[in-house]
Amino acid sequence: MSALRDALRDLSDAAFFDLLESDEAYLLVLDVPGVSPETIDVAVDGGRIRIEARRKKSLPGQFKYIEENRSLFVDVDVPVPKDAVEAEAAATVDRGVLELRLPKQAGTEETTIDVVEQKRAEDRHDETGDPETAASTDETTPEETATDEER
């Protein structure tokens, strides 16, 4: 997630955002005043989050701009956290606030492996009841099992 956090820090000072994390998901909350669902495009693809929005500004008839600092466009391109599931991303925009939810991959539970003692010839003898089987299994060498032609 640090790549996403670092990229968000590099955004313009005009971009106001919060990045939240739970056990199940990330939530990016981005202020996009003047933006509606019809004027914003959000894509999560190829390990990147791309947000492109267009604001509508109206200029009252009796006024003119002396200084115009509110951009008409919002462009954000940041990396997706490595443990996020891109295909399940969901976004909403309400009253100029975009919320992009990125679920995390289901964690794998730890697997415990039982460690047992390796069985010796005597132990196998006890299980089979046949001392010949136990002895022949452990004491046969490759030379003893080779045929006359192989020697």
Q: Is 91 helix (H, G, I), strand (E, B) or coil?
A: strand
Residue 67, token pair as written in the block: 């200084």
pLDDT at 134 over 60: no
Q: How confident is the model at residue 150 (pLDDT cuts 50, 70, 90)?
A: low
> Is 148 a domain residue?
no
85 is written with which tokens? 């599931």
Domain-located, residue 149: no
- Domain containing 139 equals 113-143
- Give 24-35 pLDDT, tens digit per residue: 999 999 988 889
Tens-digit pLDDT profile for residues 45-74: 888 899 999 987 788 889 988 887 778 888
Q: Does residue 140 have a pLDDT over 90?
A: no
What confidence category does residue 43 fall into, taking pLDDT thresholds of 50, 70 and 90? very high
The verdict on 25 and 75 lying in the same domain is yes
How many domains are there within the chain? 2
Among residues 8, 56, 48, 10, which one has the least CA distance to residue 32?
Answer: 56
Is residue 82 a part of any domain in this protein? yes
* CB proximity list for 8: less than 8 A, separation 6 or greater: 17, 19, 28, 78
Is residue 27 located within the same domain as residue 91?
Answer: yes
- Do 90 and 118 fall within a single domain? no
Indicate whether 26 belongs to any domain.
yes
User: Which residues, 6+ apart, have CB-to-CB distance to 39 below 8 Å?
Assistant: 53, 54, 55, 56
Global pTM reads 0.60
Confidence band, pLDDT 50/70/90 cuts, at residue 94: very high
Same domain? For 87 and 138 the reply is: no
Residue 150 lies in a domain: no
> Do the domain assignments include residue 132?
yes
45 and 75 part of one domain: yes
74 and 135 together in one domain: no
Does one domain contain both 122 and 96? no
Q: Are strands 90-94 and 97-103 parallel, antiparallel or unpaired?
A: antiparallel
